[in-house]
């Protein structure tokens, strides 16, 4: 699925310079943040693997392994939450959505405000100025209410996959 918001989101994040520069010496603090963010949405925490090489590569969430890889230069609150938001939306509503779509953005905004990266009004105003769109859900409970059907479908698919895996084991 075409990820129309990706570049806009990166540009928007880049303007909040103080967020996106490295601030932790080890990956343990970002890992702990990912764990707390996922707990907020009742999603099992993914494995968070830190990469020590400074140059090259990128940070990402790998849905098949439920795993986040974080480059050293990304060891900060905002990017930990950015990747946690991927883990949460993918886990809850499945990969059948643009990676930086409105559902992901709603989770990301909630996490950025909750972990006090910036006040929600400031986040919303600047995201709006960039033309970024997000679903109305302003927290886990609303997210689940608004996306109930897709959450149900995704859960069923996950269960079916697990069943298939068990059945095909000999
Ligand atoms: Zn992303």
Per-residue pLDDT of the chain (170 residues), as tens digits, is: 789 999 999 999 988 887 877 789 899 999 999 999 999 999 999 999 998 876 678 899 999 899 999 999 899 999 999 999 999 999 999 888 899 999 999 999 999 999 999 999 999 999 999 999 999 998 999 999 999 999 999 999 889 988 888 888 76
Assigned token pair, 76:
């900060």
C-alpha distance from residue 69 to each of 30, 118, 137, 153, 166 (Å): 11, 24, 27, 27, 27
Assigned token pair, 9:
């989101």
Candidates 56, 43, 142, 138; CA nearest to 83 is: 43
Candidates 80, 98, 66; CA nearest to 27 is: 80
- The pLDDT value recorded for residue 19 is 80
- 57 CA to middle of ligand 1, Å? 14
- 60 CA to middle of ligand 1, Å? 7
Name all contacts of 110-117 with Cβ < 8 Å and 24+ positions apart.
Answer: 110/137, 110/138, 110/139, 110/140, 110/143, 111/37, 111/40, 111/81, 111/84, 111/85, 112/78, 112/81, 114/37, 114/40, 115/33, 115/36, 115/37, 115/77, 115/81, 117/16, 117/19, 117/77, 117/78, 117/81
- Single pTM value for the model: 0.92
- 145 CA to middle of ligand 1, Å? 24
- 152 CA to middle of ligand 1, Å? 24
- The pLDDT value recorded for residue 54 is 66
């Amino acid at each position: 699925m075409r990820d129309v918001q990706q570049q806009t989101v990166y540009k928007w994040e880049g303007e909040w310079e103080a967020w996106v520069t490295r601030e932790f010496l080890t990956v343990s603090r970002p890992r702990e943040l990912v764990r707390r963010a996922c707990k907020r949405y009742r999603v099992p925490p993914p494995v968070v693997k830190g990469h020590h090489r400074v140059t090259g590569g990128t940070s990402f969430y790998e849905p098949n392994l439920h795993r986040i890889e974080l480059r050293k230069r990304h060891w900060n609150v905002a990017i930990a939450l950015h990747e946690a938001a991927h883990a949460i939306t993918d886990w809850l509503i499945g990969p059948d959505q643009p990676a930086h779509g409105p559902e992901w953005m709603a989770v990301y905004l909630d996490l950025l405000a909750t972990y006090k990266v910036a006040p929600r009004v400031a986040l919303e105003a600047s995201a709006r100025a960039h033309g970024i769109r997000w679903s109305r859900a302003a927290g886990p409970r609303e997210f689940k209410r608004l996306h109930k059907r897709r959450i149900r479908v995704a859960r069923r698919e996950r269960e079916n996959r697990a069943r298939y895996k068990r059945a095909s084991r000999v």
